[in-house]
Structure 1
C-alpha cells in the first residue's frame, strides 16, 4: 500500500468536523459512503454522497434533504442494532470494493472518533477487523493519520515525524526501515508498546507485516500539516 495513493472509496462517519487540509486528495471517481451524520460532514467537504447508511438519528434536516436529492442508495437501519453506523458503512465499502488482488480497494475513513473515547477505540479496532481484511484502509484522525497494515506500507514520511506501530487483534511480526530504530522480523506481542514512538528519518519508509495486523500511526505535531 502506498502511503499517499488516492482513495477509491471514502467512508465518512459522524465525528467532529475535519479541516479539508487534513484530508488526502479525493478524486472525483471515488465513491462516497456516509454513515448517519457523516452525510453532513461529507457535505462540508464538498462531496456528494453515493451511499447513505445508518439509523439517521443525528443527521441534520439539510443532510436529510441531501440524502433524498443526491444519494443513489439509502440504507436505513433501526436505532436498536448490534453494529455502529461506521461498521455498517465499512460493510458497504467491502461490497463496493473488488476482491484482492484487484485494485480499487483503497478506502479513506474519517470522522470515526466522534469526541468519545469508546467510539474512537472501538472504531480503530473495527477498521482492522477480519471482515474488512480485503480493504486497504487509511484513517484520518483528529491528531494524525493511521493505516491498517496486513502486508506492506511504503512511502515518504517527514524527517523527525513520529511513527508508532501497534499490533491489533493479536501478535504481529514486522520489519520496518526508514526509521531511527529499524526492526527486522521483530515480534510484537498483543498489548506491547515496543513499536510506539519510533522516528522517521526522512528517507523512504517501508513497513512489512509478516504475520498479524498492525495500526501504523503518525501523530500530528505543530510542525506537520
Structure 2
C-alpha cells in the first residue's frame, strides 16, 4: 500500500505538539496523514486525516469511529515503528513530521534511525525548538549569518561544506567518533556528503527556508529496496 500525493504532506505522530505548530504547518501543506495515535492528535485540532497508518495499538476507538474505514491502513508488523511504516507507505515531494520528537527519548532516537533507513524521503521532523532532516547528497541552504547548524552522523560519513564557521572537509565523521554539532553559518551554506547518514539540525525558524531548499534539491538518495526514488 502506497499513499501517493503530488503535494507536501503533514504527518502527525502521537507525541505532544507545541502550541501553534499544527497551524503553522497547515500554512505550508494541506494534506494530513496520521501515524497511529497521531490520529487522535489530528482530530483534537479539528483535522480529519486523509489516511492513518500504523499498528493501531495507540489510536482510540473514538478516533477510528470518526475516520472513514477506507482511510485506515493497519499494519501489525512489530519490527517497524509507526513512523517507519508511514515513511515506507507515503510517496510525496516532502513530509513535515509533527509529534515525533520531544516526549520520549527512545521514540526520538527511533525516528532518527528511521530517517536514515528511508533516505529517499524528504522528511523534516519538527520539535519545539529545532527541525531535523537527513542531508541529501548535495544541498544549498540560504541561511542567515550566525544561524546555528548542527550535523550529526548516524554512521560513517564524510563531506565538504561552504559557508560554515568550522568546515567539515577532510573529517571522518561517525556517531562514536567525530561529530559536527553546534556549528554556525557564515551566510548561505552548501553541504555535500558521501552517504545517507548525516542528520542536519537547524532552528525551527528555518523551516520555510529548509522546505524550499529540499524541494529545490535535484540530487537525492535512491530507494535501495526498489532501485528508484519514489518521491
Note whether the superposition's TM-score is higher than 0.5.
yes
Q: Tell me, in whole angstroms, the C-alpha distance in 2 between the residues paired with 1:26 and 1:63.
A: 25
Unmatched 5+ stretches in structure 1: 1-6, 98-103
Q: Tell me, in whole angstroms, the C-alpha distance in 2 between the residues paired with 1:67 and 1:125.
A: 30
**Measured at CA, do residues 14 and 50 of structure 1 come closer, stay the same or move farther in structure 2, by a change above 3 Å?**
same
Q: Kindly indicate whether the alpha-carbon contact (under 8 Å) linking 1:180 and 1:199 is maintained by their aligned counterparts in 2.
A: yes
Structure 1 position 60, deviation (Å): 4.0
Structure 1 position 12, deviation (Å): 1.5
**Measured at CA, do residues 53 and 114 of structure 1 come closer, stay the same or move farther in structure 2, by a change above 3 Å?**
farther
Q: Tell me, in whole angstroms, the C-alpha distance in 2 between the residues paired with 1:58 and 1:27.
A: 25
Q: Aligned pairs, how many?
A: 197
Q: Tell me, in whole angstroms, the C-alpha distance in 1 between the residues paired with 2:33 and 2:110.
A: 19
**Measured at CA, do residues 115 and 209 of structure 1 come closer, stay the same or move farther in structure 2, by a change above 3 Å?**
same
Q: Tell me, in whole angstroms, the C-alpha distance in 2 between the residues paired with 1:138 and 1:220.
A: 10
**Measured at CA, do residues 124 and 212 of structure 1 come closer, stay the same or move farther in structure 2, by a change above 3 Å?**
closer
**Measured at CA, do residues 21 and 117 of structure 1 come closer, stay the same or move farther in structure 2, by a change above 3 Å?**
closer
**Measured at CA, do residues 126 and 185 of structure 1 come closer, stay the same or move farther in structure 2, by a change above 3 Å?**
same
Q: Which residue of 1 aligns with 2:28?
A: 26
Counterparts of 1:33-182 in structure 2 under 5 Å? 33-45=33-45, 47-60=47-60, 62-68=62-68, 72-78=70-76, 81-93=78-90, 97=91, 104-113=92-101, 115-129=103-117, 132-168=118-154, 170-182=155-167
More strand by share: 1
Unmatched 5+ stretches in structure 2: 1-6, 206-231
Deviations 1:79-133 (A, max 9, x none): x72222212122211xxx2xxxxxx43222121136111111111111111xx22
Q: Kindly indicate whether the alpha-carbon contact (under 8 Å) linking 1:33 and 1:92 is maintained by their aligned counterparts in 2.
A: no
Q: Kindly indicate whether the alpha-carbon contact (under 8 Å) linking 2:139 and 2:191 is maintained by their aligned counterparts in 1.
A: yes
Measured on the aligned residues, the alpha-carbon RMSD in Å equals 2.6
Q: Tell me, in whole angstroms, the C-alpha distance in 1 between the residues paired with 2:53 and 2:152.
A: 30
